[in-house]
Structure 1
């Protein structure tokens, strides 16, 4: 496992090891403001040996997410809440990035936060995603037809403001959420983006929103910018034919490789993010790492989705990846990094009933009460 515990320079900072904790939505931020128990949660995992933590998806503007009580970073109260978290993490060697998130067509107009925003649900095109279930709205509705955004640069401006707020909150960098069918992914995917202006149509036009947003983030953060991508698609009704996928993400990654980002995370195909519609699986199954790693000649690659400790060591030891992100295992193992170093098993069971909180329940349960191993 020694390869996993070599330091790694990312942008302007050095992380102590190659084990990252990926963004994990946990629904513990009433009113979209980070809380004290969130501080305890992130601090646990920093003390538990994560080299780099990426915050849960953090909304860049008020939106009607199907994930109630998701945190935001569009106002000063949120900045103050995040600052307590970054301060706690920085008492260890761990670094922490803020994942900047816009839902696009995956918001709902009847969600309280969307109503409070006074804005329609915006997306690249007026095309609804299949699926979805807003359990906190009467009738548990699915996704709705969004409003096509007239000027996408207004959305880029939201990301830039969020990046400025993330800097004020003490983060070490920002990760653009370009995966899992959310706004950036919607612009990239020809099944969600049917625009005929400079933001749609050709590969270059569909990649424009992601690249212009990254450039805006670089204006704020310099080299401390990253992006997360899921080329295999599937989740939230994403996915193009294989050649379109290779052409689109290959072009995007070639361009990204010239920007000087800290890292790119590629999510591999996993069955749990591959829904079925009309009797067919939605994802475009292929080896994401073998296909797209060659396009990243100048940028550190992190691998995400279903990685085991042994596989992580092999990926980093072979220089296939600079580092690895663990997601679900970090939910039940706050000491995951220490377990990997000591050769301990991931033997805690995830309390799925409380992963996203439970109405009227103690939000610490299934969040802060997982046992650490004996060392």
Structure 2
């Protein structure tokens, strides 16, 4: 049976999406030397045809220096813009919308201290690994670097305004590519999250110290994005996630993210994504987990009530739970990641009551040396009709 609340239209910024079934950003590492290609176009088009109301692209890197992975896509030069435009046009042709996380919203990202000086793209960039403070993250695995060397001590960013300008240029490039908006990636231990977290941000200037100062970088980025995109700017946060060595005590976590959302709510954003806790994103360091598990929806929704910023929920949501959250007005939409990865026709399956029975090809999520890039990417079976 169709999930009725899932299939109602929603105003997102200046655009209307056909349903509340959103595809979350999923890193897949299938670009050609950071340039989006025809295989990526097929991947996104499959999911647009499968009924996604809104597609958020994989994290699109705002600079070569901000890359952690080989074959991750960027948006800092014209060939990349042109490659994304082909994807955006295909998604629009199939009736879906796309944000860039930079696609139909694009998701914009920079990994900060999660990069490595021996990573191929970092070598090409010819600059050090930068972060808010000179504090290395624990752990770190790089599939393409021999010996799994782990993270290094980064160089403290001299002037964060430089990175704000990088993101603003990326937002302008995303607009040229035809996206409907941008989602700022402030989650999972990457650069923006590193500014927010007191364990990775020990600055003593206006960009560190108090919650207000640690939130300054992200809030200034949102304002810079809005200079380009107006109301078509969103943000994703993960207050309960310990990935990439993040984590603060609960009281400090709520104080920090509560301040961030109170101020973000005043800006008139398209939406805010709240990523829930999962052990998959809370690895152990020295035998202990870093994150502070708590209910992000009930904790942070009150901070977004003054101007009713739409809330999207992400991580581990079942279809029946999504229906309940939507029908009671607790969220405006649901972002799914892995279900869209394994079911390119996810929305059609939900509408028609088809089973979600494709198994994840965990060996080829990010591709593999010498293996056809379509495997685990565009070869998932669609339901028989």
Give TM-score scaled by structure 2 length.
Answer: 0.96
Q: Is the 8 A contact 1:268 1:288 kept in 2?
A: yes
Name which of 125, 131, 142 aligns with 2:139. 131
Cα distance change on mapping 1:368 and 1:229 into 2, 3 Å: same
Q: Distance in 2 between matches of 1:47 and 1:118?
A: 41
Aligned to 1:331: 341
1:198-217 maps to which residues of 2 (within 5 A)? Answer: 198-217=206-225
Structure 1: unaligned runs, 5 residues or longer: none
Q: Distance in 2 between matches of 1:63 and 1:343?
A: 45
Structure 2: unaligned runs, 5 residues or longer: 101-106
Name which of 149, 158, 161 aligns with 2:166. 158
In the TM superposition, structure 1's runs of 4+ consecutive aligned residues that sit over 6 Å from their partners are none
Aligned to 1:356: 366
Aligned to 1:148: 156
Q: Distance in 2 between matches of 1:40 and 1:237?
A: 35
Cα distance, 1:64 vs structure 2 = 6.3
Instruction: Give SS of 2:33's match.
Output: helix
Cα distance, 1:66 vs structure 2 = 3.6
Instruction: Give SS of 1:266's match.
Output: strand
1:83-162 maps to which residues of 2 (within 5 A)? Answer: 83-98=85-100, 99-162=107-170
Q: Is the 8 A contact 1:64 1:108 kept in 2?
A: no
1:32-51 maps to which residues of 2 (within 5 A)? Answer: 32-51=34-53
Aligned to 1:72: 74
Q: Distance in 1 between matches of 2:238 and 2:17?
A: 24
Give TM-score scaled by structure 1 length.
Answer: 0.99
Q: Is the 8 A contact 1:66 1:133 kept in 2?
A: no
1:1-375 maps to which residues of 2 (within 5 A)? Answer: 1-63=3-65, 65-98=67-100, 99-297=107-305, 298-375=308-385
RMSD: 0.8
Number of residue pairs the alignment of both structures matches:
375
Cα distance, 1:276 vs structure 2 = 0.9
Cα distance, 1:132 vs structure 2 = 1.1
Instruction: Give SS of 2:64's match.
Output: coil
Cα distance, 1:67 vs structure 2 = 2.4
Cα distance, 1:93 vs structure 2 = 2.1
Q: Distance in 1 between matches of 2:121 and 2:280?
A: 28
Which deviations, in whole Å up to 9, do the C-alpha atoms of 1:54-80 show, x marking residues without a partner? 000100000364422000000000000
Answer with 62-71 or 272-281: which moved more.
Answer: 62-71
